[in-house]
Structure 1
């Protein structure tokens, strides 16, 4: 499923126009991104939660040459599925 499919599904399920569904989805994504940029956790009870975790700098290897390289530290987004979502797919 891609963004267009999701917008179509939202419009059909909610009985709204595709334009309204697109605005709603984009607003949701902007709000989630903004919260994560601030370091906050975003939880949708039953569906899941997003959080930001710090990944430390480390050494890696170039698989072609075997040369040791330095990998910079960075923030990564983690998603943990909620119980309702887990139950729905199992």
Structure 2
């Protein structure tokens, strides 16, 4: 699903204009993005939470040359689905 499809769904369900719906989607995603950039976790009840994890530097290997390299420290975002979402997905598979 794309941002445009989310905005279209909001437009159809809530009755806002397409422009207002797009602005809401952009605003929500911007808030989530800003929180993650600050290193804060984001929890959406009934959906899941985004967790910012710090990864330490580690040794790696260049797949083309086979030479050893050092992969620098970085932050990554992981997502954990809530039990409610997991149950809904499981029910959909049945």
Query: Structure 2 length normalisation: TM-score?
Result: 0.87
> How many correspondences in the alignment?
90
Q: Deviations over 1:10-58 (max 9, x none)?
A: 2112221111111111111111111112222211111111121001111
Please state how far the C-alpha of 1:71 moved relative to its aligned partner. 0.8
Moved over 6 A (4+): none
| Equivalent position of 2:88 in the other structure | 88
| Equivalent position of 2:4 in the other structure | 4
Alignment RMSD (CA, Å) = 1.2
Q: For residues 45-84 of structure 1, what are the structure 2 equivalents within 5 Å?
A: 45-84=45-84
Question: 49-58 or 31-40, which moves further after superposition?
Answer: 31-40
Query: Structure 1 length normalisation: TM-score?
Result: 0.90
Unmatched segments (≥5 aa) in structure 2: none
Question: 70-79 or 1-10, which moves further after superposition?
Answer: 1-10
Distance in 1 between residues matched to 2:17 and 2:85, nearest whole Å:
26
Unmatched segments (≥5 aa) in structure 1: none
| Equivalent position of 2:28 in the other structure | 28
